Amino acid sequence: MLLELGAFGIKNNTISLVVDLVILFLVVMWLALVYWTYADARRRIADPLLVGCATAASLFPFVGTIVYMIVRPPEYLDDVRERELEMQAAEARLAELGYHLCPHCDYEVEKEFLRCPNCLRKLKDPCKACGKPLDPAWKICPFCETEVGTITASPRRARRRRDTPSEYPVAGTTAGETSTPSGS
């Protein structure tokens, strides 16, 4: 007497074969989804730990892959890099054409502007000799050939302290007292 073991207690060979094939198909689909999740996560996520977490989540049959599909990044890493390179190339082309933006507020400014007309921040320093705008990387002014940083402002005169008491009292003192700068 042979004992026939069938899935779910089914004794009919035909139905048992169909059930076994369906189970085999579901297991193969589940393993394919685990691999697909791993491969897709590697193309979309830069962090290997998150790739591992996405793959581990897909080990929950079918539900893990569906959850991954909901929360996965919308773009492939290659597409993100390509878009960033295109943006840099477009910005470089615009800079060559004379289209400049304020680095602080992204307002359109001209190459000769010393200050942004929108946010009033300083963009460039003027040449001390001719007053034309200087790029911070320049060593000399290309307009007047003055070395950058050689012309210094006229030295300020030192303020002289009064040795005699002031005719007018400082707040908090009487007319005969003198105030000292140290506050004592």
Please list the pLDDT of the chain residue by residue as tens digits (184 residues).
444 555 677 777 888 889 889 999 999 999 999 999 999 999 999 999 999 999 999 999 999 999 999 999 999 999 999 999 999 999 888 777 767 788 888 888 887 788 888 898 888 888 888 888 887 778 888 888 888 765 444 444 555 555 555 555 555 555 555 545 554 4
Q: Which two tokens stand for residue 103?
A: 């680095």
Exposure b/e, 44-76, CB count within 10 A at least 16 = b: bbeeeeebeebbebbeeeeebbeebeeeeeeee
The dihedral sign for the CA sequence 108, 113, 118, 119? positive
Residue 163 has a pLDDT of 54
Residue 1 has a pLDDT of 43
Compute CA distances 170 → 101, 161, 176, whole Å: 51, 15, 10
- What is the 8-class DSSP label of residue 75? S
Residues 6+ apart with CB under 8 A from 106: none
Q: Which residue has the tokens 């026939």?
A: 4
Q: Give the Cα separation of 53 and 60 in Å (integer).
A: 12
**Secondary structure class of 115 (helix, strand, coil):** strand
Residue 137: Cβ-neighbour burial (10 angstroms; 0-12, 13-18, 19+): exposed
From start to end of 67-157, where are the E strands?
100-101, 108-109, 125-126, 133-134
| Cβ pair 129, 146 in contact under 8 A | yes
Residue 130 has a pLDDT of 84
Residues 6+ apart with CB under 8 A from 143: 127, 130, 132
Residue 59 has a pLDDT of 94
Q: Which residue has the tokens 């060559």?
A: 96
- Cα separation of the two ends of the chain: 114
